[in-house]
Structure 1
Amino acid sequence: MKRIPVKMVRKDLLDIPEYSLPTGFRIRLFEKGDEQNWAKVEASVNEFKNEKDALDHFLKEFGPYINEMSMRCVFIENKNGEVIGTTTAWYGDLNNDGEIWGRIHWVGVAPAYQGSKLSKPLLSAAMNILTNYHSKAYLTSQTTSYKAINMYLNYGFEPLITGPSCYEAWTLLENSLNRKILK
């Protein structure tokens, strides 16, 4: 499938779907020193070519905000205490107009654990954190992450159409998901 960036918005943070973690897993917040855990997960899902690049990115993007990360970054651990998933309930200026939105940012579950029913509890945890700080949220993704996009749609996120290329992306996604998305 062609990889095209997409943006999605959720205009309110009411009625967040709730999902329980399977037995043997737990969700916890970021602690100082977890930078490498974040980098390991994000490199494992091919967001970066290696852990060093992921760690460099983490330090650039989040390094100045480590204290905020301890309130906004979520990890899933397996029964051995290994971090195997992460996402961040971050924020950003979606429209470059000075209005700050909540942002679901850097969602990743290690490949060995994908399909283990971890993504929904992870997303629910991050969305619940967002409700403490924001009234609406957005995220960015790409057409190749169609399974994640399907989950985001089920969580109430909608396509943000900002130009003609968006229609190509969402048409591809409708075909991949066999689901009507655009209204």
Structure 2
Amino acid sequence: MSLSKLIMKKEGLSDLPGFHCPTGYQLRHFQPDDERNWEDLIRYSFTREVKFADKIGDHVPFYSDRLLFICRGDQPVATAAAWERVDGKDLSWYLHMVGVLPQYSGKGLGFAVSLAALHKVREAGGESVLLETDDFRLPAIRIYMKLGFQPLYIDESHPGRWERILREDTI
């Protein structure tokens, strides 16, 4: 049996710290022909194949300025998307597909690219943001909590799972 995704939410975006790209890196948005760069980055950071068209490109609306990369030179080394989804009449914002190449972990890039995506949500008028994650993604959960995300208890398994995660010395 597979576990449901953990859900986190950040209420209010008025308190976001200013964005500063880490020294030696540049922030840019998705450009034509970046599909392969995104797929490569996700493959190495998530250790699984994800097709751009399936996860991002075929979804409407797709705003290229909300799919962000932090680059070292010309190479994207971190990514995140400010994602919107309309459910009926309601618009929900998501921090979506945050990934960092393993050799660049621990350099603040996951935090930086996530913060940049949150700024995009705020610029577009968003007031809160959701995200989905997995129990084993403790470094990512640390980043999300530092950014002000809080656990949501949607599934009956969530309270026990969050209790275990929050008990970890590293969180």
TM over 0.5: yes
- Count matched residues: 169
Cα displacement (A) at 1:157: 0.9
- What CA distance in whole angstroms lies between the structure 2 residues aligned with 1:18 and 1:173? 29
- Any gaps of 5 or more consecutive residues in structure 1? none
Cα displacement (A) at 1:22: 2.6
More helix by share: 1
- What CA distance in whole angstroms lies between the structure 1 residues aligned with 2:19 and 2:105? 16
Note if contact 1:5-1:169 (Cα within 8 Å) is conserved in structure 2. Answer: no
Q: C-alpha offsets along residues 145-164 of structure 1, whole Å, 9 cap, x if unaligned?
A: 11211211121111111132
| Structure 2 residue corresponding to 1:115, chosen from 92, 101, 106 | 106
Equivalent position amino acid for 1:126 in 2: A
- What CA distance in whole angstroms lies between the structure 1 residues aligned with 2:68 and 2:45? 16
* 2:158 aligned with 1:166: yes
Change (3 A) 1:163 1:46: closer
Change (3 A) 1:35 1:67: farther
Q: C-alpha offsets along residues 6-47 of structure 1, whole Å, 9 cap, x if unaligned?
A: 100112111113353332100001011101111011000135
Q: Which residue of 2 aligns with 1:64?
A: 58
* 2:37 aligned with 1:24: no
Structure-1-length-normalised TM-score: 0.82
Note if contact 1:31-1:70 (Cα within 8 Å) is conserved in structure 2. Answer: yes
- Any gaps of 5 or more consecutive residues in structure 2? none
Q: Which residue of 2 aligns with 1:103?
A: 94
* 2:91 aligned with 1:128: no
Change (3 A) 1:21 1:177: farther
- What CA distance in whole angstroms lies between the structure 2 residues aligned with 1:68 and 1:59? 11
- What CA distance in whole angstroms lies between the structure 2 residues aligned with 1:132 and 1:22? 21
- What CA distance in whole angstroms lies between the structure 2 residues aligned with 1:157 and 1:125? 15
More strand by share: 2
- What CA distance in whole angstroms lies between the structure 1 residues aligned with 2:55 and 2:4? 23
Q: Secondary structure at the match of 2:58?
A: helix
Paired-residue identity, %: 25
Equivalent position amino acid for 1:81 in 2: D
- What CA distance in whole angstroms lies between the structure 2 residues aligned with 1:67 and 1:160? 26
Equivalent position amino acid for 2:67 in 1: C
Cα displacement (A) at 1:92: 2.7
- What CA distance in whole angstroms lies between the structure 2 residues aligned with 1:97 and 1:20? 36
Note if contact 2:29-2:69 (Cα within 8 Å) is conserved in structure 1. Answer: yes
Q: Which residue of 2 aligns with 1:34?
A: 34
- What CA distance in whole angstroms lies between the structure 1 residues aligned with 2:155 and 2:89? 21
RMSD: 2.3
- What CA distance in whole angstroms lies between the structure 2 residues aligned with 1:106 and 1:24? 23
Q: Secondary structure at the match of 1:115?
A: coil
Change (3 A) 1:45 1:17: same
Q: Which residue of 1 aligns with 2:141?
A: 149
